[in-house]
Amino acid sequence: MTNQTATPLLEVNDLRTVLHTPRGDLAAVDGVSFRLGRGETLGIVGESGSGKSVLGRTVMGLHTTGPTKTVTGQVLFAGRDVQQLDRRALRELWGAEIGMVFQDPMTALNPVKRVGVHLTETLRKHRGLDRKQAKARAIELLDLVGIPDPRRRIDQFPHEMSGGMRQRVVIAMALANEPALLIADEPTTALDVTVQRQILDLLARLQKEMGMAIILISHNLGVVAGRADRVAVMYGGRISETAPASTLFETPQHPYTEALLEAIPRLEEPPHRRLAAINGAPPDMVRPPEGCRFAARCRHARNDCDQELPELVPAVHDAAHHFACFHPVNQGGR
C-alpha cells in the first residue's frame, strides 16, 4: 500500500458538487476529502444516488462550475488544480494523464465508428503517431486487453461485439496513453459474474504492469474486496467511513458499512437464503436531514443522530481508519 505521508498523486480537499435542478439545489457531493498515492487503488462504494459517480467525474474535471452546477473545493492532480484548468488544458489531461472507464460501454463508444477509430484518434492526438503507427498500436492495445484476433476486431463496429468485449475496448481507450490515474466507474455493471472477474483481473494486471493509480467505483463491496488498498464508503454525498481495505472488512465502524457487508452473498450460507436488506431509502439531497444522513435507516440511531451531522474522525486505536458516526458499531463511542 502507498505511504499516505508521501506526496500524493491526487489530493481532494472539501469537494462539493451542487447540481441546480428544477426542484432546487442538489448536493451530490458534499464536502469530500481524500488522498491517493501513485500505484494505489482506492475503492469508492455506495448505493445508487450516494454521489460516487458524480465524485469521479468531478475529480476528472467533467463537472465544473457553470449554469447547471457549482463546484467548490480543490482537486489537485500531480500538483495542478483541476478545477482551475481551462477547457483546452482539461482535454490535454483527459486520456493522456487521467483515463476513465465508464459503466456502460455502449454510451462511451460511438456506434457509427469502428473500434479502431476510437483508439487511433486518441493515439494520434496525444502521441503524435501517424495513421499507420496508430493502427499498429491500436492492435497492440486490443491484444493487451485480451481481445482475440485484434487485427479483425479493429475494423468492427461496437454492436458487433459482446458486452465484455466492448468493455475491454473502453479499457484499451482509457489506457492508450498510459495514464497515471484510471477512474473505473462501475466497470463490471451489466456483465455476468465470469466476465466481471476477467475485467477486474485485467485491470489489476495492467495496473501492476503500468504502475498507475486506480479509483474503483462500485455499488458492491464484494467487487472491491481484495482489489483496493483503501476503501471509502459514501452515503448521502459524503464519506461515511474510510480505512485500509482489510481493516474496513474486518472491523467496520459505521452502521451503514456494517449493513452493506451483511448484504454480501457468502458461499457458506445455505442456497436461496434471503439476503439482508437495508430498510428505507437514501435521503433526498435537495432537502437533506439536519443530522446524520443515515439515521432514518439506522438500527443504532439515537436522539443526537437526528440533531447534528457527524464529521469524519479517526478510530481510537487506528489513525488510518476514519468514520462519521456518534455510535460506532465496533467500539464504545468516540
User: Rounded to an integer, what distance in angstroms lies between the CA atom of residue 295 and that of residue 292?
Assistant: 5
Burial class of residue 234, CB neighbours in 10 A (0-12, 13-18, 19+) = buried
Q: Which of 236, 235, 231, 242 lies closest to 312 in space, CA to CA?
A: 242
Between helix 115-127 and helix 163-175 the angle, nearest 10°, is 10
Q: Which contiguous run of DSSP H or E holds residue 199?
A: helix 193-210
Give the pairing of strands 98-101 and 41-45: unpaired
Q: Cα separation of 275 and 81, whole Å?
A: 43
- Strand ranges for the chain from DSSP E: 10-21, 24-36, 41-45, 69-77, 80-81, 98-101, 181-185, 213-218, 230-235, 238-244, 313-315, 318-323
Please tell me the predicted confidence (pLDDT) of residue 3: 47
CATH topology of domain 10-97+177-323: Rossmann fold (3.40.50)
pLDDT for 197 equals: 86
- The Cα 12–Cα 175 span in angstroms is 23
Rounded to an integer, what is the distance from CA 96 to the centroid of its chain? 19
Q: From first to last of the 334 residues of the chain, give the pLDDT tens digit.
A: 444 446 899 999 999 999 999 999 999 999 999 999 999 999 999 998 999 999 999 999 999 999 999 999 999 999 999 999 998 899 888 878 999 998 777 778 999 999 999 999 989 888 889 999 999 999 999 998 989 999 999 999 999 999 889 989 999 999 888 899 999 999 887 778 888 888 899 899 999 999 999 999 998 888 898 899 999 999 999 999 999 999 999 999 999 999 999 887 776 667 767 777 888 899 999 999 999 999 999 999 999 999 999 999 999 889 999 999 999 998 644 4
Q: What is the pLDDT of residue 269?
A: 67
